[in-house]
A = this chain, B = another copy of it.
């Protein structure tokens, strides 16, 4: 593994010049430049990323964090729980786009003591250029710590703004509004809302969007038709079982996510209810699986690529100190498949 010193020697120049050629930071004569390039190629030279990070006091890496109520703070720690398959899609895009921008993605090992301060310090000590937070729980104390720490940070699906922090999110409430209006147009009036944990921004906004659509249609939102669940399939399945035991006076269920909808679909199936003939169901996210559920799921698409690109653009701008821009609210769009249909009877169960 050749060093810049060896390149310099071979090219007959100083290490400073090698560095300049490498970084194109300063004007160098054509002759010198090509000599250096030749030497680099001959030696198979590649700069030592660690040394660069040390002297520049900044690495070319972005830290990735995923917050969950659980507070483990471990990025992917909860992804197995089906609740977060959507964020997997996000992760995939984040990985691709950051690589394209020439940044590494770093998932730091958690330091001793899980305090927000320690979290921030560990990021600082790794000299990360910036941080991407796929945040769920709005009350996570690390959000505040990050805001104050002045590390360039972009939050996805959580609110957070500071001198070096901004957020990006989907237009959740509009998406839920679209789904609800779609059902209203099909004649549904008794609509259940199965919401994710309302401490999470997306859950709260989706719930509100749906309720507003109802209100706009002159329907008094019935609290009895709101039921709570975790984000994952398991909990939604159980919530649906409970719901069916408690009340059957509805013809549609708006769920907080596709994975939740899958649990609902299964509970309905077990109860002998047909979708959409007996009950219409909508999801949220539009994960790939939606096309293969039985029946294929009507849902709200989130534009993951736009979210990630927007987030990264904002983040890089903050890193490069080009100043802070506005938050980004990415539009959402209803995708109609086969899990929704016209209401058959005003109230099918009684």
Listed in ascending order, the chain A residues whose CB lies under 8 Å from chain B are 1, 44, 46-51, 53-54, 59-61, 74-82, 85, 88-89, 91-93, 95-96, 98-111, 121-122, 124-127, 232-234, 237, 262-263, 265-266, 269, 288-289, 291-294
Check A74/B96 contact, CB under 8 A, given A79-B89, A288-B81.
Answer: yes
Interchain CB contact under 8 A, B82 and A89? no
Complex Cα distance, B263 from A61, in Å, reads 38
Interface of A is mostly: helix
Q: Which of B49, B102, B232, B289 contacts A126 (CB 8 A)?
A: B49
Contact B109 A103 (CB under 8 A): yes
A59 to B, closest residue via Cβ = B50
Asked if B106 contacts A105 (CB within 8 A), the reply is yes
Tell whether A104 pairs with B104 under 8 Å between CB atoms, given A121-B44, A121-B46, A289-B233.
Answer: no
- Taking CB atoms, residues of chain B closer than 8 Å to A61 are 106
Q: In the docked arrangement, what's the CA distance between A104 and B91, Å?
A: 17
Evaluate contact between A110 and B104: CB separation under 8 angstroms: no
Q: Which of chain B's residues have a CB closer than 8 A to the CB of A124?
A: 1, 46
Q: CB-CB < 8 A to A102: which residues of B?
A: 109
The residue from B53, B76, B266, B294 contacting A265, defined by CB atoms under 8 A apart: B294
Chain B residues with Cβ below 8 Å from A126 are 49-50, 104
Q: Are A50 and B127 in contact (CB under 8 A)?
A: yes
A97 to chain B, nearest CB (A): 10
How far, in whole Å, are A72 and B342 apart by their CA atoms in the complex?
45
Q: Which residues of B contact A80 (CB under 8 A)?
A: 88-89, 92-93, 288
Q: Which of B95, B104, B108 contacts A77 (CB 8 A)?
A: B95
Closest to A295 in B: B269
Quick one: which of B54, B88, B93, B105 contacts A88, CB cutoff 8 A? Answer: B88
Residue of B nearest to A107 (CB): B105
* Residues from chain B with Cβ under 8 Å of A75 in the complex: 95
Given the known interface contacts A74-B99, A80-B88, A288-B82, the answer about A106 and B109 at a Cβ–Cβ threshold of 8 Å is no
Is A47 touching B125 in the complex (CB atoms < 8 A)? yes
CB distance from A306 to the nearest CB of B (A): 15
A49 partner residues in chain B, CB cutoff 8 A: 125-127
Residues of B near A1 (CB, < 8 A) are: 121, 124-125
On whether the beta carbons of A233 and B107 are closer than 8 Å, the reply is no
Beta-carbon contact of A266 and B292 below 8 Å:
yes
Chain B residues whose CB sits within 8 angstroms of the CB of A101 once the complex forms: 109
Nearest B residue to A111, CB-CB: B46
Nearest residue, chain B, Cβ from A266: B292
